[in-house]
């Protein structure tokens, strides 16, 4: 497969990705603005880049979040590749949440 055969399909790929993001944006979880995020660096599209970066840096992002927030008893948002952040609660709240489900 040469580059010439891949080039015409590039607009279709970009269009498919944009369509996916548009469709899934309706289903995204909206967190309060005061929720701290792990793995988000300043700049344009910072959260979107963090969601995509979760594929390669997932463990590193979670470790950073636990170091910054979990150790001091704060919940934080961790990016996820499906563009819905995971809310990570500190260990001391895990039993309380588990008991509340019953």
Could you tell me if residue 36 is inside a domain? yes
User: What is the pLDDT, as a whole number, of residue 37?
Assistant: 92
Q: pTM of the entire structure?
A: 0.66
User: What is the pLDDT, as a whole number, of residue 67?
Assistant: 94
Could you tell me if residue 21 is inside a domain? no
Could you tell me if residue 41 is inside a domain? yes
Could you tell me if residue 63 is inside a domain? yes
Between residues 77 and 83, the one the model is more confident about = 77
pLDDT class for 76, splitting at 50, 70, 90? very high
User: What is the pLDDT, as a whole number, of residue 3?
Assistant: 55
- Expressed as residue numbers, the domain containing 64 is 31-100
* Alpha-carbon distances, residue 14 vs 19, 41, 46, 72, 83 (angstroms): 9, 24, 19, 41, 17
pLDDT digits (tens, 9 = 90+) for 10-62: 888 888 887 777 666 666 677 888 999 999 888 888 888 898 888 899 899 99
- Please give the angle made by the CA atoms of 27, 28 and 31, to the nearest 5 degrees: 140
Structural domain count, the chain: 1
Could you tell me if residue 19 is inside a domain? no
Rg over CA atoms, the chain: 18
Could you tell me if residue 58 is inside a domain? yes
Could you tell me if residue 96 is inside a domain? yes
Could you tell me if residue 11 is inside a domain? no
DSSP 3-state of 58: helix
DSSP 3-state of 84: coil
**Closest C-alpha among 32, 50, 33, 29 to residue 41:** 50
């Amino acid at each position: 497969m040469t580059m010439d055969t891949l080039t015409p399909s590039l607009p279709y790929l970009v269009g498919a990705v944009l369509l996916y993001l548009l469709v899934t944006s309706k289903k995204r979880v909206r967190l309060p603005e005061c929720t701290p995020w792990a793995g988000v660096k300043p700049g344009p599209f910072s959260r979107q880049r963090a969601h995509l970066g979760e594929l390669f840096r997932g463990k590193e992002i979670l470790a950073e979040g636990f170091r910054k927030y979990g150790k001091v008893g704060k919940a934080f948002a961790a990016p996820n590749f499906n563009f819905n952040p995971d809310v990570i609660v500190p260990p001391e709240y895990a039993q309380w949440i588990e008991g509340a489900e019953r």
